[in-house]
A and B are shown apart, each in its own frame.
Chain A
Amino acid sequence: MSYIAPKDYAADPEIVAKILRTVSGQLELDWMKRVGEPAAFRPSQPSRGLTLDDINQGGYGPDKLPEVIRHNFSMAPRGALLPPGLPSLGYRVNRKSDVWADVAPQLFEEAKSRRWAPARDVPWAALDTPSHDANREAALRQLATGLISIGLVSCDVAASWEWRMNQEFHEIKYLLCAQMFDAARISEAFRKRALYGGGSLGVDSRALGELLKSIFLSETYPEASASMNLMLFSWVQALGRHWAASASNPADSYLGAQLAQDATRFVTYGVGHVRNHLAARPVQLERIADHLEQCENALVGTLGAPEMVEPLVFLSGGFEPVAAFYARTADEYFRRCAAAGLGDRRDASPLSPFLRMLQGDAR
């Protein structure tokens, strides 16, 4: 059932009387007498404009936020004066270290500044003469099909946590909205890539579905962030680089490079967030590591699935370069895990025996 406000405002005599006094010119002006902390914020760098970091000072900044928010569960923005009786919006994510990364405000600004529009920025006409054969084109469309799913589910993951976060963490909520837009654009751009000029979508992958479900159904936000931002997008970033490096035309070069760039913002937030989370609550290490192990298991299924590995073989000119690509991507991912405070995951991760098996086969 929809929420019902506790008063019938249209019929409340006190409220009606107040409105009538206002209409007759008797203004109370209480709101004008009680204002928040005065501020005089300006852009620190005029060419960058006025950023969130510029205005995040004093009581308006996040530095003085307590680890657990208990003073505000309403829609009131951080730094506003809180009258009594504000309704609770029922936020469930109220611990700063469960969401925060110092780099988040910067990444939000960066996401907008480095925006691009697939409709016009991709030189689509270059695909009229793509300079590659039909098998390679089919491989690209198959990989694009997977990227569409990844983009859509990543939207869902960010959306499913954004509304549960306390309003005091607005920078993180903004960033999650930017992530939704970035993820939607991945889905949009690669759907257009697959369908351009007589194209078609490829085959959906059950293994990829299992991976995305493992991330989507994460029990906590830190688990969702570790598995999506840190793990999944490490591989999306690498796929973007591989797509661009294998490109035989300017459209694919552009798409791959943009995918890598956009994915890296997810990764950067993931590293900062997990590190901050574990620094504040080291007891969570085992839980995050265990969740990553489960998701890495699903990732092995995806990386080994014919819908993923076979198109990569066509794109890379053989199996050996794919094994090298996987090994290099895993190495970068493990470095990020270490930077995030997860220690050396090489021994614990199901990725390691999978990669050893591939490298044996590649030789």
Chain B
Amino acid sequence: MAVRFPSLDFFKALQQRTLDDKARFEKLGYCDTTFGVRIGPELYAIAFEVYECTGVRLASDMGELDFVLEAPPALWREMVASILANKGADAAHSLNTLSHVGDRMKLVSTDAEGNDKFYRFMASLQEFFDQAHHLEVTL
């Protein structure tokens, strides 16, 4: 069944992928963070514990999140399109590149340690988004 991007259903489907492809996430190691994805007006909160995504929900308070990745909807769509086309983000569309070069995606946090959780768990978070290539996504 197709899921629309962006939507809560999209992130719920990715959450399920962390169980369906458990071995891949275990190989990447512990990942303990609750972070946000802001797409236009919507803020999605995504919780990771040990190896898996343990919850996704709509949020309103950024204060409870370690960090938030913020980008215009068009850029998020471009990233997901790259993941679908290449079975994973290409170098130009990885979370690292988008948030590092030219500030196209903003990494926002209220404290430095929360901010650093993005860098500490970057490979797991990238894999979370890359799992979208297993889904039927409507952009």
Using a CB–CB cutoff of 8 Å, the interface residues on chain A facing chain B are 45, 47-48, 106, 109-110, 113-115, 237, 241-242, 244-245, 247-250, 253, 256-258, 260-261, 263-265, 267-268, 271-272, 321, 332, 335-336, 338-339
Chain B 90-128, CB-CB to A under 8 Å as 1, else 0, gives: 010010110011000000000111011001111100100
Q: Which residues of A contact B116 (CB under 8 A)?
A: 264, 267-268, 271, 336
A271 touches B97 (CB 8 A): no
In the bound complex, CA of A228 to CA of B58 (Å): 39
Inter-chain CB contacts under 8 Å: number: 80
B115 touches A110 (CB 8 A): no
In the bound complex, CA of A242 to CA of B94 (Å): 12
Return 21 A-B CB contacts under 8 Å, by A number: A45-B49, A47-B50, A48-B50, A109-B30, A110-B29, A241-B96, A241-B119, A244-B91, A247-B91, A253-B94, A256-B96, A257-B94, A257-B126, A264-B116, A265-B120, A268-B116, A268-B120, A332-B115, A335-B112, A335-B115, A339-B113
Q: Which residues of A contact B123 (CB under 8 A)?
A: 114, 257-258, 261
Q: Which residues of A contact B29 (CB under 8 A)?
A: 110, 113-115
In the bound complex, CA of A47 to CA of B119 (Å): 23
**Majority secondary structure, A binding face:** helix
- Taking CB as reference atom, which chain B residue is nearest A109? B30
Among B50, B51, B97, B113, which residue has its beta carbon within 8 angstroms of that of A244?
B97
Q: Which residues of A contact B96 (CB under 8 A)?
A: 241, 244-245, 256-257, 260
A260 touches B119 (CB 8 A): yes
CB within 8 Å for A241 and B115 given contacts A115-B29, A264-B120:
no
Q: Which residues of B contact A109 (CB under 8 A)?
A: 30
